[in-house]
Amino acid sequence: MKKSMEICAFFYLTASVLVLFLPLLGHHTLFFRDIQLLFMPMKHFLAEFWRQGELPLWNPELFCGAPFLSDIQTGVFYPLSIVFYLVPMPYALNMFIITHYIIAACLVYALTRHWNCSIPAACLAALCFTLGGYLVSTANVLNNLQSAIWLPAVFLCFEKGRGRHTLFYGLLGAIFLAIQFLGGEPQLLLFTLLLVFTYNLLVNRQTGWLQHLSKISIVLAFIGIVGIALVTVQLLPSWEMFRHSIRATGFNFQEATKFSLNPLALFQLLSPPSFDIYGKEQFAWLLSNYFGLMPLVFSISAILFVKDARIKFWTACLFVSLALALGKHTPLFFLLYKAIPFSNSFRFPEKFMFICAYSIAFLAAFGFDYILERGIRGNKRVISIFVFLVVLFLVGAIIRTSCSLPALDYVSPSVRFFLFVCVSLLCIFLFFKKVLNKSTFSILVVVVSTVDLILAHMPFNPVVPKEFYTDEPKLVHTVGKNKDSERIFVQTDSYGNLQRRHQSSFSLQHLWRHYLWPNTGTLYDISYVNGIGGTEARYQWLVTELLEKLNLKKRIRFLELTNTRYLIAMGPEAIESEVRAGRLKRIQQNLYQLPCALPRAYMVPAVKMVRDRARAVEEILKDQFDPRQYVVLEKGSQVSLMYGEGGEVLDMSYAGPNKVNATAQSLGGYLVLLDSFYPGWRVFVNGDERELFRANGFFRAVFLEPGMHQIVFTYQPQSFVWGLRISFFSLCLVMIGLWVWRPKRHVPNT
């Protein structure tokens, strides 16, 4: 009987997730915010080269070329990414997202059941987290979704590892930590490690403090070392990219706290915020902080009335995470920012709601079981909590109606809120009056909470027909004619112009697609001089800064030096003078051609040496700089020729994402390839490796003696090579260890 109920619970949780994402089961897919700009192009790029048998270490289509695998958000080695190899896009993306929500529900359910919660209470906790505001908001921020769901699995391994099979569950826990890291959000991994350590230290203590601390530290260190060994293939390239990124020096406090939780957003714990994609965009990083009315009531019941070490722990986690999520609105975050190493490398204090979401879910399960056990003896306490929450919400609503501050839009009175208050009170009242027995009441609570959360959050992930991605925008037929040899630049500072025109979020998303906003064009193999990246390398940041801050004349000059043929801009007034001067050619509305753009690869006869990259950039922006006559190199390069006669590049092509082939007839000079210079690139001339130079501050160059040459540029960083070896060897050892130390059934003696 119990087993059948567990199976029914699993099917119910799965069905609830499918209802929430019902449009994704047909011919629709997600497009809102980061999905369209970042994750759909990223996953499409990954799937395209996987099917060709290539491992995409490099992406030649963004920022004049950028590391792909090294950007941890790409999830190249994340196990569930296999779906992008097996299923065509965009159906693969739909399946990928839905699978994560089902896994999240099952893992929360399994952990709360392990903590001896009843089946209905475990279902409520699973629904509260899976359909709650935090996880629903991460559907369009995939790296957070990929990492957020694995905390219960790590906790479960630690819990089970306290028994006889410590090594087996320790290795299993290391695997789940590795998966969480490969998901692409290291901040959530740090939260998980901190929670696991403090929970086992404070809640599961069975011996003296010092002995227990030593044991927990040893176990966690073992699991951490194994986990690190498993992910070295991702960790080493990502660390190398981090060292070359703007994050290495950290963000200032203002940038780090840009997305702090507004204190008034705490009212969203009572009722979901209004969401209108057809209205003006005013959304925070987290779209909603609502976890259901009844789960909130049960959570408060657990906090106030249940005396248990686990309740105290998750209560403390709840309040601390809320305080840290407030960011600049509380001194606690400032102390964290100043005191903890590397904390200034992370942004978005709202990510601390990750801890809050789990805390409320677990507390809801404990509180629900408390109500079921207390029965009629707890009626006054629960009803008083309801009354308090309603009064609190009404106070916020009154303040909103009497004050014109835009921030008070977080307090949104609705008929739906009061309807669910009435339904919830009725269910509890009938249970206390013994009209409903425990089973019926449990089912009603779970169903009402499910309906509440689905109705609240279904609009938060709007969908479009799959043709939104599969059909090419009209501009592709113009700028995509020579897509393998020329780049485009989309003037992203026009975003402010679009906002000032009072465009709705829905309209903005469609304009992004129409005007091939970075990175949307990578779906159609269009190359950009700019782009959007997660871990932005310094050269990417410098390119972005130049393109945003240079005046229009110098911006056009820089674009010509980067093989950019087309400019897309939504502010044509400032461009008319450049069109009249002949530096730009109008193709159609908002689309311009740069007639003097350089080819992707060319030969130059001479070289000019400068001190560093800053001087190189300064040199190439001078009006007298002639890129066809000389290349700017930096001191320290072993220059073989100062003057020659140049030559001609006869052919250039990309052999996959990680290799460039070229044929050149040299008369003595340098071949300049207008692809980004980055550690890990090597060049071979007629089979012999040569020194690769950083040319013109950003690009690559190699010296060629007179004669015909075959040139091959390859990207295979040593960080990846060594990481792959270590990870493969570690995975083999872990698999052997799991087999050797697996739990065995004891056969009774006859």
How do residues 93-148 score in pLDDT, each as one tens digit? 999 999 999 999 999 999 999 999 999 999 999 999 999 999 999 998 999 999 99
pLDDT category of residue 748 using cuts at 50, 70 and 90: low
Q: Please name the residues in contact with 456: beta carbons below 8 A apart, sequence gap of 6 or more.
A: 133, 272, 288, 290, 292, 416
Q: Which whole number is the average pLDDT over 229-248?
A: 90
For residue 500, what pLDDT is reported?
Answer: 47
Taking only the tens place, the pLDDT of each residue in 7-22 is 999 999 999 999 999 9
For residue 408, what pLDDT is reported?
Answer: 44
Q: What is the DSSP string of 96-126?
A: HHHHHHHHHHHHHHHHHHHTT--HHHHHHHH
Q: Which of 151-155, 243-247, 533-537 has the lowest mean pLDDT?
A: 533-537
Cβ contact 535:248 at 8 Å: no
pLDDT category of residue 380 using cuts at 50, 70 and 90: low
For residue 402, what pLDDT is reported?
Answer: 57
d(CA 370, CA 291): 19
3-state SS assignment for residue 307: coil
For residue 383, what pLDDT is reported?
Answer: 67
Segments in 247-352 forming alpha helices (H): 253-256, 293-305, 309-325, 331-339
Q: Which whole number is the average pLDDT over 407-436?
A: 70
Q: Which of 285-289, 483-487, 513-517, 663-667 has the lowest mean pLDDT?
A: 483-487
Q: Which whole number is the average pLDDT over 551-574?
A: 84
Q: Which of 214-218, 340-344, 356-360, 527-531 has the lowest mean pLDDT?
A: 340-344
Tokens found for residue 256: 């780090």
For residue 569, what pLDDT is reported?
Answer: 82
**701 or 437, which is more confident:** 701
For residue 266, what pLDDT is reported?
Answer: 83
Tell me if the pTM is above 0.95: no
d(CA 688, CA 110): 58
Nearest by Cα to 72 from 225, 221, 189: 189
The count of other CB atoms within 10 Å of the CB of residue 426 is 13
**Looking at the DSSP assignment, which residues form a beta bridge with residue 699?**
695
Tokens found for residue 219: 């176990």
CA angle 494, 523, 601 (to 5 degrees): 80
For residue 685, what pLDDT is reported?
Answer: 94
Cβ contact 397:411 at 8 Å: yes
The fraction of the chain above a pLDDT of 90, given in percent, is: 44
What one-character DSSP code corresponds to residue 529? S
> What sign for the dihedral angle of Cα 318, 321, 323, 326?
negative
**H or E element in which residue 148 lies:** helix 142-148
d(CA 86, CA 80): 11
Region of 711 (left: φ > 0; alpha: ψ -120 to 50; beta: rest) is: beta
The fraction of the chain above a pLDDT of 70, given in percent, is: 89
Q: Which whole number is the average pLDDT over 573-598?
A: 83
Q: Which whole number is the average pLDDT over 305-334?
A: 90
Q: Which whole number is the average pLDDT over 594-607?
A: 91
For residue 306, what pLDDT is reported?
Answer: 84
Tokens found for residue 20: 């929430």
For residue 437, what pLDDT is reported?
Answer: 84
Average pLDDT of the chain is 85
Q: Which whole number is the average pLDDT over 22-34?
A: 90
Rg of the chain on CA atoms, in Å: 29
Q: What is the DSSP string of 347-391?
A: --GGGGHHHHHHHHHHHHHHHHHHHHHHGGGGHHHHHHHHHHHHH
Burial of residue 687 (CB within 10 Å: 0-12, 13-18, 19+) is exposed
For residue 291, what pLDDT is reported?
Answer: 92
Tokens found for residue 33: 């915010």
Q: At residue 4, does pLDDT exceed 80?
A: yes
Taking only the tens place, the pLDDT of each residue in 265-277 is 887 888 888 777 7
Q: Give me the numbers of helices (H) and strands (E) for the chain, helices first please.
A: 30, 20
d(CA 142, CA 38): 9
d(CA 594, CA 400): 52
Cβ contact 170:222 at 8 Å: yes
Q: Which whole number is the average pLDDT over 324-338?
A: 86
